[in-house]
């Protein structure tokens, strides 16, 4: 199996992705870390997701998922931050209003386009299921641990 581990971060998520790729490679899984999505030659496309990395307000990830999904690729997305609707914040009221519209829409679309969504706690799964309507079967909890 070949997994494309999409990354567009050089900070903490990059380190997290490196450890994940190394562990999966040791298990015999071919993992390629890249910021370009190839047209073919892979089975799974995995995103490390933070809203701030896929502007505007997380919606940019949907554009990256769209064509691979149409081609029948399996999509896995790890959400590192999940906010309850009443926790969505911004510095000014206009951005807060925009984010309160876009972030829930992004989360719902992630649920539609992903084959699996990974979160790091049962609490985050509960938010995705209860507040954003994602299927319990689609959301998996894999505790973060330390690295």
Task: Write down the domain spans for the chain.
Answer: 2-141
pLDDT at 146: 66
Nearest to 59 by CA among 91, 94, 104: 104
Q: Average pLDDT by consecutive 10-residue portion of the chain (147 residues)?
A: 89 86 94 93 95 83 95 96 90 90 94 97 97 97 79
Q: Strands, E, within the chain: which ranges?
A: 2-6, 30-34, 44-49, 74-79, 116-119, 139-141
Location of structure tokens 């581990």:
5
pLDDT at 23: 92
pTM: 0.91
> What φ, ψ does residue 78 adopt, rounded to 5°?
-100, 120
Q: What Cα–Cα distance (Å) separates residue 141 from each residue in 28, 43, 108, 130, 136?
A: 23, 22, 18, 15, 10
Rounded to an integer, what distance in angstroms lies between the CA atom of residue 109 and that of residue 103? 10
pLDDT at 48: 93
User: Is 3.20.20.80 the CATH classification of the domain at 2-141?
Assistant: no
């Amino acid at each position: 199996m070949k997994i494309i581990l999409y990354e567009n971060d050089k900070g903490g998520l990059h380190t997290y992705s490196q450890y994940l790729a190394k562990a999966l490679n040791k298990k015999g899984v071919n993992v390629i870390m890249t910021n370009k999505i190839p047209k073919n030659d892979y089975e799974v496309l995995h995103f490390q997701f933070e809203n701030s990395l896929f502007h505007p307000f997380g919606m940019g990830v949907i554009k990256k998922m769209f064509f691979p999904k149409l081609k029948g690729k399996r999509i896995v997305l790890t959400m590192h931050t999940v906010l309850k609707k009443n926790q969505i914040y911004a510095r000014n009221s206009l951005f807060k209003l925009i984010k309160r519209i876009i972030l829930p829409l992004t989360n719902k679309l992630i649920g539609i386009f992903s084959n699996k969504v990974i979160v790091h706690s049962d609490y985050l799964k509960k938010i995705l299921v209860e507040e954003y309507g994602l299927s319990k079967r689609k959301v998996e909890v894999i505790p973060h641990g330390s690295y």
